[in-house]
Amino acid sequence: MNQKVALHTLGCKLNFSETSTIGKQFKEHGFSIVSLDDNPDVFVINTCTVTENAERECRQIVRRVLRKNPHAYIVVTGCYAQLRPESISKIDGVDLVLGSNEKFNMFSYMESLQKNELACIFVSPTDELNQFGIASSSDADSRTRAYFKIQDGCDYKCSFCTIPQARGLSRSLESQQVVSQFKDILAQEYKEIILTGVNVGDYGKSLDKNLFSLLKELIVVEGDYRLRISSIEPNLLSDDIINLTKEHPRLTKHFHIPLQSGSEKILKLMQRRYTKEFYADLIYKIKQVIPDAGIGVDVIVGFPGESENDFVETYNFLKELPISYLHVFTYSERPNTKAVTMADSVPVNIRKDRNNMLRILSEKKKFEFYKSLIGNQVEVLFENENDAGFMKGFTSNYVRVKSDFKGEYINKFTTFEICDCDNSFAYGKIIGQK
């Protein structure tokens, strides 16, 4: 009988795409992929370091698996395993801890699937993290979106971030390999490909390439698709990329650009690589070139030293900018970062209040953006799910659209007229297929 593996991912889309690659490797070794409740022989947890309670989450999942299946062989890998292998190995029931270099080579470390008294640890030092591990994954059961990893690691030194320690220096997939993998993904009939990585804008640094040159190579590949950049640092979003996005319908008119703080003082403490003036100029430039561009912003509240005035400065800065939505994160202390040693820690209740304020601002921003598009014809890619008679999809500029379910429009580029909106969806009428 086939052996069974269950996989569990914590964290970002990059982690999901890497878990998907790990799953493919198990399939090649004759395993079936099953759910946690289906008595897996092996259980793999791909951990995250951004999650505030990574270790607690990991412990809870391991307990849940062992309650159902005490004989399951448990492997823990990913960013948290790389950073805290000893703590992970002490969780009762964990058999194998694999770091970032080792995660795509699991079968070299799983000699037998006998449970161990003590967990084995295989973790390379941070300065030796150089493996890439080609990875792509998709959303649920539809062929609508595929996340495609083109870059890993980061050379930046943001003072709050442990990702460079967990994933090593910036490295990229060779462009020929990107193009060939990209064609494979298109052959599986995915319609939207999201270029993913730790610092995607840094693509090609060591290859005499850059993201702009890669995009030019990708958009000439034949097919019915569109291409989205998951997120890009402000200092890496070049005029060339903005102009190419304006000109080329295959590139989505959407940028997700981390800001993190609208206070110059806090940006410096965070060791970010731009000023608020630079950021504002970039946003206005994008809107000048592509007036209907959707712009998402990451922001962290409660960073050490963020006074009431600093927060108000951030709030007002974001309120004035023509952006479409925010992803708000509450600062939480991470061991071995510069930020954790900084003075003037912000009380947790104040961090939460600031988070709430920015979330409300985000809802307003989204509503204003959606409202500005009423009367426009847009192109929507509807997803497979029938949600109580409705289907949902995204436009190129990242507007969430909801409409009566009509199977013939699923996973097809559909022209849609926006007639109304709230702060969750835009509504309107289908004009027809592209």
| Least distance (Å) between residue 159 CB and ligand SF4 | 9
| Least distance (Å) between residue 325 CB and ligand SF4 | 19
Q: Which of 25, 51, 64, 156 binds ligand SF4 (CB under 6 A)?
A: 156
Q: Is 428 in the site for ligand SF4 (CB under 6 A)?
A: no
* Strands laid side by side in the 136-138 sheet: 136-138, 145-149, 192-196, 226-229
Tell which residue, 118, 109, 35, 103, has the closest CA to residue 69: 35
* DSSP characters over 227-280: EEES---GGG--HHHHHHHHH-TTB-SEEE---B-S-HHHHHHHT-SS-HHHHH
| Least distance (Å) between residue 317 CB and ligand SF4 | 19
Pick the piece of the chain touching ligand SF4 (CB under 6 A) from 49-57, 134-142, 158-166, 363-371: 158-166
Q: Is 300 in the site for ligand SF4 (CB under 6 A)?
A: no
Q: Is 11 in the site for ligand SF4 (CB under 6 A)?
A: no
Which one, 61 or 259, has the nearer CB to ligand SF4?
A: 259
Q: Which of 11, 99, 164, 262 binds ligand SF4 (CB under 6 A)?
A: 164
Q: Give bridge partners of residue 413 from the DSSP assignment.
A: 381
Reported as type and span, the H/E element at residue 4 is strand 3-9
Which one, 85 or 164, has the nearer CB to ligand SF4?
A: 164
Q: Is 166 in the site for ligand SF4 (CB under 6 A)?
A: no
End-to-end CA distance of the chain: 47
Pick the piece of the chain touching ligand SF4 (CB under 6 A) from 78-86, 125-133, 157-165, 304-312: 157-165
Backbone angles phi, psi at 243, to 5 degrees: -65, -40
| Least distance (Å) between residue 111 CB and ligand SF4 | 34
- Other beta carbons within 10 angstroms of residue 27's beta carbon come to 12
3-class SS of residue 120: strand
Q: Which of 50, 98, 161, 259 binds ligand SF4 (CB under 6 A)?
A: 161
Tell me, residue by residue from 233 to 252, as one string, x for binding to ligand SF4 by CB under 6 A and - for no binding.
x-------------------
Q: Is 132 in the site for ligand SF4 (CB under 6 A)?
A: no
Tell me, residue by residue from 379 to 408, as one string, x for binding to ligand SF4 by CB under 6 A and - for no binding.
------------------------------
Q: Is 151 in the site for ligand SF4 (CB under 6 A)?
A: no
- CA dist 249 and 188 (Å) reads 21
With 0-12 / 13-18 / 19 or more C-beta atoms within 10 angstroms meaning exposed / middle / buried, residue 406 is: exposed
Q: Give bridge partners of residue 152 from the DSSP assignment.
A: 171
Q: Which of 199, 252, 355, 362 binds ligand SF4 (CB under 6 A)?
A: 199
CB within 8 Å of 404: residues ≥ 6 apart:
389, 390, 391
- CA dist 179 and 412 (Å) reads 23
Backbone angles phi, psi at 241, to 5 degrees: -65, -40
Q: Is 154 in the site for ligand SF4 (CB under 6 A)?
A: yes
Residue numbers 68-97 binding ligand SF4 by CB under 6 A: none
CB 190 within 8 A of CB 144: yes
Q: Is 269 in the site for ligand SF4 (CB under 6 A)?
A: no
| Least distance (Å) between residue 32 CB and ligand SF4 | 35
Which one, 99 or 164, has the nearer CB to ligand SF4?
A: 164
- Residues at the interface with ligand SF4 (CB under 6 A): 154, 156, 158, 161, 163-164, 198-199, 233
